[in-house]
Amino acid sequence: MIIVAGGSGTRMGADLPKQFIELNGKPILMHTLEAMHHFDAEMQLILVLPENQMDFWENLCGKHNWAVPHLLANGGATRFLSVKSGLEHATGELVGVHDGVRPFVAAEMMVRCFAEAERSKAAVPVVPIVQSLRIVHDGGNEAVNRDHYRAVQTPQCFKTAVLREAFDNAKRTDYSDDATVVEANDVAISLVEGDQENIKVTTPFDLQLGQLIIARRTPSN
């Protein structure tokens, strides 16, 4: 089962929330859900959206004649509350939580994430940091060893009971990712190999990069 967090009203210098911006002729969010459906057509897909975006999404589905099966859940004021809302509809033993604007998730990576979650309860895909890093503090800044850091991706995968318990026990609602909620409930997080193409589309440059990824993945005639 996958909970896809569709996001809030965050925009990319455009009139539309970023998950609805078109990439190669259809909204980013449709690409994301299609990737999940192609991975496993029987997988339960729960799309969490703000209530004021529900009708717009339904209209987009009709406009594009798009019919990937999914269940809609009301989003909350924070990511934490949105994922908790999606969890209320979860039925499987394993659950993945995925960003709606990561449309290029590969099946191979999802296999790794779910397999590790089944083994160790909680799995997060990560990729190495390639840029040099500096930490900024009140006294100035200093270089840090990038080998000690990883960039976190989604889907973050868990045993459903573990994730549900962590959300039920949480004392805050401002967590920025789901693994941190689970970690706060004293469950260790396992890291698995991510994918550099599993980008989060948040800037106009990301849209251009997305077009290149689509072109590379599209067989030539």
pTM of the predicted protein model: 0.93
Cα–Cα distance list, 60 to 24, 34, 56, 87 (Å): 15, 15, 6, 25
Contact 80, 13 (CB under 8 A): no
Characterize the bridge pairing of strands 122-128 and 190-193. Answer: parallel
pLDDT of residue 218: 83
**Residue extents of the structural domains in the chain:** 2-126+152-217
Predicted confidence band of residue 6 (pLDDT cuts 50, 70, 90):
confident
* Gap between the Cα atoms of 123 and 103, Å rounded: 20
Architecture of domain 2-126+152-217 in this structure: Alpha-Beta Complex (3.90)
More confident residue, 66 or 12: 66
Q: pLDDT class for 15, splitting at 50, 70, 90?
A: confident
**Mean local confidence (pLDDT), 155-171:** 97
Record the tokens describing residue 72, joined without a space.
């809609």
Tokens of 146: 């990038």
Report residue 74's pLDDT band, with 50, 70 and 90 as the boundaries. very high
The whole-number pLDDT of residue 8 equals: 58
Please spell the DSSP secondary structure of 172-195, one letter per residue. Answer: -S--SSHHHHHHHTT-PPEEEE--
Say whether pLDDT at 192 is over 90.
yes
CA-to-CA distance for 53 and 187, rounded, in angstroms? Answer: 34
Strand partners for 193: 126
Confidence at residue 217, expressed as pLDDT on a 0 to 100 scale: 86
pLDDT in tens, 23-44: 999 999 999 999 999 999 999 9
Confidence of residue 1 (pLDDT cuts 50, 70, 90): confident
How confident is the model at residue 12, as a pLDDT?
Answer: 60
In this model, does residue 16 exceed pLDDT 90? no
Rg (CA), the chain: 18
Whether 10 has a pLDDT exceeding 70, the answer reads no
- AA letter at 118: E
pLDDT of residue 120: 97
Quick one: which H or E segment has residue 71? strand 71-74
- End-to-end Cα, the chain, rounded Å: 35
How many CB atoms neighbour CB 91 within 10 A? 10
- Alpha-carbon distance 7 to 93, whole Å? 25
Does 5 score more than 70 pLDDT? yes
Residue range 86-135, pLDDT digits in tens = 999 999 999 999 999 999 999 999 999 999 999 999 999 999 999 999 99
